[in-house]
Amino acid sequence: MGNDIQSRLLSFYKKKHASYENTEIANLTKISDGWENEVYSFAIEYGEGAEKRSDDLILRIYPGDGAHQKAAKEFGGMKKLHEFGFPVPEVLALELDDSYFGKPFVIMEKINGRSMGQIIDESSDEKRQELVTLFCEMFVALHALDWRPFASTPSVYETGNPYASANHWISRGQEYIDRFQMDGFIPVLNWLRKRISDVPCERLSVIHYDYHPHNILVRDDGRAFVIDWTSIDVADFRMDLAWTILLTSAYGTPEARQIILDEYERIAGQKIEQIEYFEVAAGLRRLFSVAVSLRDGADKLGMRPEAVTSMKRNMDHVKNVYTFMRDRTGIAVPEIETLISNLS
């Protein structure tokens, strides 16, 4: 498979970048173990003699339903973030032609660094706190960006209705529940719907929607870059923050919730109101994705088929998210209880 990817990459460069002389693809390595995309690192070597150059790059291939939209969305979002000076890898090519890999793909700069999550695990308490502060500083900075350049039609968001963002998310949730006939989630969605009046949105933000320490690469010089922008969107920033604190705490580090929330509030200079509401919304999103993927296949939600194996390996995470959501709402979801029972 590696040789096939390498030859197809070379074919792409020879067709699209005729100015590259004596082009070679080297050091192709599969590095993805996440749910969303196939990810490879490689080096492109070109030129002759003293002019010979080599660039370290990343190839991201998008599988499943909606792949073309996701590839274009990530490419466009990262391009704007880079232009704004936000620390992301520079995107270099978007290819929606399926003739190369049977799927769309993006090529971007490779950041030679280690994941912040891995560094945190190995660090002293003092160093860990420094990294948590950096993590939250970047998160607050993201949410402070002007969101309008990231919305294809800003007028859709500029309604003057402080509940439009929550209503939009709930409407999308209803569409997904209806499409996949997951009726057990409807009471949770109704719980959120009934409480919309408690969560007016004061400001919209650019959101990452999967911001966690393993999606941040730290170079040897200490500079950090945020990766994996497949879910970039415009919404209430509390949706993004809730997703982060729910995931980091549910993966076996329950104290991470309060640590991140406190530091985010300190840096932002404000108390985050009604965050628990958004944590329920995040829990619903996570559990729905797992339930659909295990029943119908991860590709139905635009993820890699291998994501199912990862989900089954991490059932403790699913149990933790479900326990939080059930305790917060008092609502049981039969699909999740059956899933947990069958896989325990």
- The number of domains in the chain is 2
DSSP 8-state class, residue 152: S
Burial class (CB in 10 A: 0-12, 13-18, 19+), 3: exposed
Cα(50)–Cα(190) distance, integer angstroms: 66
**Residue 129 and residue 258 share a domain:** yes
Q: CA–CA separation, 296 vs 246, rounded Å?
A: 25
pTM over 0.95: no
Please report the DSSP string for 235-286 in residue order: EEHHHHHHHHHHHHHHTT-TTHHHHHHHHHHHHHTS--TTHHHHHHHHHHHH
pLDDT digits (tens, 9 = 90+) for 286-341: 999 999 999 998 888 887 777 888 888 889 999 999 999 999 999 999 999 999 99
180-232 pLDDT, tens digit each: 999 999 999 999 999 999 999 988 999 999 999 999 999 999 999 999 999 99
pLDDT of 288 reads 96
Q: What is the pLDDT of residue 34?
A: 63
For Cα atoms 57, 60, 61, give the angle at the middle one, nearest 5 degrees. 140
Is residue 219 domain-shared with residue 298, that is, in the same domain?
A: yes
Predicted pLDDT of residue 96: 95
181 and 295 inside one domain: yes
Strand ranges for 1-157 from DSSP E: 24-30, 38-46, 53-61, 91-95, 105-109, 114-115
What DSSP designation does 324 have?
H
**pLDDT (tens digit per residue) in 235-247:** 999 999 999 999 9
User: 91: number of CA atoms within 13 Å, CB side?
Assistant: 24
Do 8 and 131 reside in the same domain of the chain? Answer: no
Considering the domain architecture, whether residues 105 and 155 belong to the same structural domain is answered as no
Q: What is the pLDDT of residue 320?
A: 93
46 and 158 fall within a common domain: no
Q: What are the pLDDT digits (tens) for 140-150?
A: 999 999 999 99
Domain final residue pick, 71, 87, 109: 109
CATH number at residue 168: 3.90.1200.10
pLDDT the model gives residue 19: 63
CATH code for the domain of 98: 3.30.200.20
What CA–CA distance (Å, rounded) separates 241 from 218? Answer: 21
What is the pairing mode between strands 224-226 and 38-46?
Answer: unpaired
Q: Does residue 167 have a pLDDT over 80?
A: yes
Q: Is 196 helix (H, G, I), strand (E, B) or coil?
A: helix
| Domain end among 89, 109, 129 | 109
pLDDT at 102 over 60: yes
Residue 70: both structure tokens together: 């996701």
| Same-domain pairing of 131 and 272 | yes
If asked whether residues 166 and 104 sit together in one domain, one would say no
Last residue of a domain, one of 54, 76, 109: 109
Q: Is there a single domain that holds both residue 140 and residue 231?
A: yes
- Are 93 and 118 within one domain? no
Domain hosting 148: range is 114-343
Residue 15 tokens read as 């067709």
Same domain, 7 and 142: no
Tell me the pLDDT tens digit for each residue of 246-292: 999 998 789 999 999 999 999 999 999 999 999 999 999 999 999 99
- If 0-12 CB within 10 Å is exposed, 13-18 middle and 19+ buried, where does residue 309 land? exposed
| Exposure b/e, 276-306, CB count within 10 A at least 16 = b | ebbbbbbbbbbbbbbbbbbeeebbbbbbbee
pLDDT at residue 44, as a whole number: 92
Which one, of 78, 95, 110, lies nearest residue 229 by Cα? 78
- Per-residue pLDDT tens digits for 46-98: 877 667 788 999 999 998 888 999 999 999 999 999 999 999 999 999 999 99
Average pLDDT taken over every residue of the chain = 92
Which of 203, 216, 293, 301 has the alpha carbon at shortest distance from 260?
Answer: 216
User: Do 105 and 178 fall within a single domain?
Assistant: no
